[in-house]
Amino acid sequence: ASTLVGEVMLLARQGPRALELGYWFHVDHGGRGYASEAARALVDRAFAGDFGEIERIVICCDVDNGPSNAVARKLGAEIAGQERVETVAGDGETTLNRWALTAGP
Which residues, listed in sequence order, are joined to residue 102 by a DSSP beta bridge?
56
Q: The whole model's pTM is what? A: 0.89
Q: Give the pLDDT confidence score for residue 13 in this predicted structure.
A: 86
**Cα(85)–Cα(105) distance, integer angstroms:** 33
Does residue 95 surpass a pLDDT of 70?
Answer: yes
**Please, what is the Cα angle at 29 between 25 and 35, to 5 degrees?**
45
Q: What single string gives the DSSP state of each residue in 9-77?
A: EEES-SSTTEEEEEEEE-GGGTTSSHHHHHHHHHHHHHHTTBTBS--EEEEEEETT-HHHHHHHHHTT-
Domain 6-102 is found in CATH 3.40.630.30: yes
**How sure is the predictor about 42, in pLDDT bands with cuts at 50, 70 and 90?**
very high
